[in-house]
Structure 1
Amino acid sequence: MSDDDRAGEFGPIYLPALQRIRDLWLDLEPLVDETGYDDVVAPTELRISLSDGLADAESARLDIQWSELGMYSFHYVDSDDVNRRFDRHPNTHSPESHFHPPPAAATTDAEPSCIDVTEVSLVTRAVHAIWRAAYEDDDIEQLNSASNPP
């Protein structure tokens, strides 16, 4: 996600939240290949690699940001170059909590998010539950249709 997608303050990255998100994905998802940060000294993003993806994708990655202000981005991209994103941040194009649908997760295509919770563990569980349901049912239409997950 680019900074120009945000109209207001996102806030500094909150490393304890990224660590909690990493731990939850490792506990919840058997397809996690590896996790890491974009920068070892001053991380701004958690990266989670998956050994499979949605639809025909052979692999996928989640790029995750979480700020001290409780703003977040869970950006999914797969080996077929399909993108989707759950975000919470101030902007001019949609509600604060929103979803950017595939294939490009374009800023202009944002729609209200089905995720209403805001606590880091609950948001993480919601994103995971939505992803897992779409994966198991091979149905990407489920990605933003859950009723207040998790």
Structure 2
Amino acid sequence: MTNDRSGEFGTIYLPALQRIRTLWLNLEPVVAETGYDDPVTPTELRIELADGLGDADSARFDIQWSTLDNYSFHYVDSADVNWRFDRHPNTHSPDRHFHPPPDARTVDDEPSCIRVEEVSLVTRAVHKTWRVAYESEDRNRLNSISNPP
């Protein structure tokens, strides 16, 4: 996962990752598999999707959530498209920001359409933005929804 953070992100909060996992399993029919990067001390939840945006045959979300309620929902797919919704201290943009496709470059980030802060609401918001882009086959809609979910 790309690290463009400055300041403290906070310790990874496993109960939040567990909640995010449960929500994705309940919300999204194309979830193929879920898991953690490390079974003993996880720092990241991985959600594998059986389909992706546009021409992508599969995709994955790499997700972090901290005790300080900072987060990163990073999408990468089989067509090598990347984007992510983040909330963390940094020197280049608002704490809540979006790194647009196709490569989620730090220099191209923009304010996030996601204004909610609670873990379940942020998860639902990210899912909604992904689902809208997926159904419309238009990744330009990812950060265009008005205050999801």
TM-score, L = length of structure 2: 0.99
Matched residue, 2:2: 2
SS in 2 for 1:144: coil
How big is the shift at 1:2?
A: 3.1
CA distance, structure 2, for counterparts of residue 43 and residue 7 of structure 1: 22
Structure 2: tracts of 5 or more residues without a match? none
Q: CA deviation at 1:108?
A: 1.0
Shift of 1:107: 1.0
Question: Structure 2: which amino acid aligns with 1:2?
Answer: T
Return the alpha-carbon distance in structure 2 between the equivalents of residues 77 and 140 of structure 1.
Answer: 13
Question: Which aligned segments of 4 or more residues in structure 1 are displaced greater than 6 angstroms?
Answer: none
CA distance in 1, matches of 2:123, 2:73: 9
TM-score by length of 1: 0.98
What SS is found at the alignment partner of 2:80? coil
* Aligned residue number for residue 65 of structure 2: 66
* Equivalence for 1:117: 116
Deviation per CA, 1:3-27: give whole Å up to 9, x if none: 3x00110000000000000000000
Give the partner amino acid of 1:15. Answer: L
In structure 1, how many angstroms separate the alpha carbons of the residues matched to 2:137 and 2:69? 31
Aligned to 2:139: 140
Which residue in the other structure is 1:11 paired with? 10
Give the match's secondary structure for 1:34.
Answer: strand
Distance in 1 (alpha carbons) for counterparts of 2:76 and 2:109: 16
Q: Which residue of 2 aligns with 1:130?
A: 129
Residue 39 of structure 2 is matched in structure 1 by: 40
Which amino acid is the alignment partner of residue 81 of structure 1?
Answer: D
| Alpha-carbon distance between aligned partners in 2 of 1:108 and 1:40, rounded to the nearest angstrom | 33
Q: Which residue in 2 is equivalent to 1:21? A: 20
Unaligned runs of 5+ in 1: none
Alignment length, in residue pairs?
Answer: 149
- The secondary structure found in structure 2 opposite 1:8 is coil
Local SS of the residue matching 2:17: helix
Give the equivalent residue in structure 2 for 1:49: 48
Aligned to 2:62, the other structure's residue is in SS state: strand
